[in-house]
Amino acid sequence: MTRAYFGTDGIRGRANTHPMTAELALRLGAAVGRYFAQGAAPGHRVVIGKDTRRSGYMLENALTAGLTSVGANVLLLGPVPTPAVGMLTRSMRAALGVMLSASHNPYHDNGIKFFGPDGFKLSDAAEADIEALLDELPALAPPEEIGRATRIEGDRARYVEIAKRTLPGDQRLSGLKIVVDCAHGAAYKTAPEVLWELGAEVISIGVSPDGYNINRDCGSTDTAAAAARVVAEGADLGIALDGDADRVMILDETGTVCDGDQLMALIAGLWADQGRLSAGTLVATVMSNLGLERYLSGRGLTLRRTQVGDRYVVEAMRKGGFNLGGEQSGHIVMTDYVTTGDGLIAALQFLSAMVATGQPASALSRTFQPVPQLLKNVRYDRNRRPLESDSVRAAIEAAEAELAASGRLLIRKSGTEPLIRVMGEAEDEALLAKVVEGLADDIARAGAG
């Protein structure tokens, strides 16, 4: 079944514009509540977390109304990281977890992500079944069975303790000076708290959310402020999270960025040395650098690729019994600890390596030599289909032929925005720029309104 609302990571869009409206959230709450009521005890639990966007209040209330109308009891967590919702859904024996966030997008967007009772994000099939229920009249609960909503306390403390326990018991971060940029988002309290309680000297930025400044000039997608602060403070490390804290970028002591590929390479190598890397395999997406694949192969390890989206990484991990995966963008999934990407816990793995080896961040953040990679995001008119244009198809075929001998080309539509991502890799940087920029121009012309 074709999904009309769900993309690569739940439902996402501009707040108060279809589909991200209170009206749809109300219907969606009733539909998903009905779906997860199957086989659940009456008055089943649903946990709802959110990031710091102003529109989160609207969506939270609408979802709560829909869920309680079909008999679900709602536990409101307030602002918490996305991985905390997955974690708490399972630990609190809830039938469903909901996270309201548009991740790294600006404040004017929002999204709705669902977690099943096992703490993992829903499959495509489950999302299609829920969409089908949107067109049906909900089976409303009788008055005596309407659910209740409760705002709970202590959920943040649970997550803090679980995050801290991912370090070996005898490890501390004493003596380390760390800049943490929380993107004015969901981890603005938890991330500094975890690092400080582990003994670090913590310099926090991006911890003053006002409902509108989430991800603005900060966080994992804009690391300039964090990098400058690392250098100015003489810090040992910078940690830049995104709005819902499921992705991270590490900054070494010079302010240089270590992306998700380098972080995965480091963790995979360390876990392999410790006998912890399941089946000697790392799961990553088609976007991950060819240099990562070469590094793993040289270590006798395997890279298994999936389509883009941390949900698909997790699905492959669960199917194959693997315990480490992620994306170049900084989603790092470690199923020994959590059920989805967790930026803070991934950063703690890096810090653990620093403590264990005594090496600076700059030495640990360059595990492999990346193949030159270029990514162009091409925005297009929603009413046009540039990838179906004969001229664009011919341009893609020609570009693939040019790179065939020395690299690769990947073209994909974003699942959350009207963007087409053109990514190429090649040892010859001049050829790479020529091919990718030329193809991006061709797509832009075909997609113009």
Write the pLDDT tens digit of every residue in 217-270: 999 999 999 999 999 999 999 999 999 999 999 999 999 999 999 999 999 999
State mean pLDDT over 321-333.
96
CATH of the domain at 133: 3.40.120.10
* Residue 49 DSSP SS3: strand
Q: d(Cα 408, Cα 402) in Å, to the nearest integer?
A: 9
Residues 183 and 305 in one domain: yes
- Does some domain include residue 2? no
19 upstream amide cis, omega within 30 of 0: yes
301 and 345 housed in the same domain: yes
Segment 412-439 shows an average pLDDT of 90
Give the helix, strand, coil percentages of the chain, each rounded to 5: 40, 20, 40
Report the chain's mean pLDDT, rounded to a whole number.
94
Per-residue pLDDT averaged across 367-390, rounded? 92
Identify the three-state secondary structure at position 305.
strand
Q: Is residue 5 part of a domain?
A: no
Residues 246 and 134 in one domain: no
Q: Which residues of 378-390 are buried (b: 16+ CB within 10 A; e: fewer)?
A: bebeeeeebbebe
> Do 76 and 15 share a structural domain?
yes
Residue 3 lies in a domain: no
| Residue 407 pLDDT greater than 90, yes or no | no
Question: Does the annotation mark 103 as catalytic?
Answer: yes
CA dihedral 357, 363, 364, 365 (to 10 degrees): 160
Task: Count up the domains in the chain and report the number.
Answer: 3
CA distance from start to end of the chain: 29
Instruction: Tell me if 103 is assigned to some domain.
Output: yes
Q: How far is CA 375 from the centre of its chain?
A: 19
> How far apart are the C-alpha atoms of 188 and 243, rounded to whole Å?
9
Name the catalytic one among 55, 101, 103, 329: 103
The SS3 of residue 404 is coil
Same domain for 364 and 222?
Answer: yes
Looking at residue 2, its pLDDT comes to 59
From 130, 153, 176, the end of a domain falls on 153
What pLDDT does 333 receive?
Answer: 97
Say if residue 365 is in the same domain as residue 284.
Answer: yes
Range of the domain at 414: 373-447
Cα 176 from Cα 267, distance rounded (Å): 20
Q: Is 427 inside a domain boundary?
A: yes
Beta strands in 95-218 (DSSP E): 96-100, 109-115, 149-151, 177-181, 201-205
pLDDT attached to residue 40: 65
Residues 299, 259 within the same domain: yes
The pLDDT tens digits for 99-142 are 999 999 999 999 999 999 999 999 888 999 999 999 888 889 99
Tell me whether residue 428 is in a domain. Answer: yes
Query: Tokens in use for 402?
Result: 């040019």
Residues 148 and 240 in one domain: no
Whether residue 180 sits in one domain with residue 117: no
Residue 4 resides in a domain? no
Say what the pLDDT of residue 87 is: 95
Question: Tell me: the pLDDT tens digits for 205-220?
Answer: 999 999 999 999 999 9
Beta bridge partners of 419: 379
pTM: 0.90
Please check whether residues 198 and 117 belong to one and the same domain.
no
The stretch 315-322 carries a mean pLDDT of 96
Tell me the CATH number at 423.
Answer: 3.30.310.50
Question: Residue 1: is its pLDDT beyond 60?
Answer: no
Residue 366, pLDDT score: 95
For residue 170, what pLDDT is reported?
84
From 153, 184, 203, the end of a domain falls on 153
In this prediction, residue 41 carries a pLDDT of 64
Give the end of a domain, one of 104, 136, 153.
Answer: 153
- Residue 187 falls inside a structural domain: yes
Same domain, 399 and 254: no
Q: Please tell me whether residues 299 and 243 are part of one structural domain.
A: yes
- pLDDT tier at 42, thresholds 50, 70, 90: low
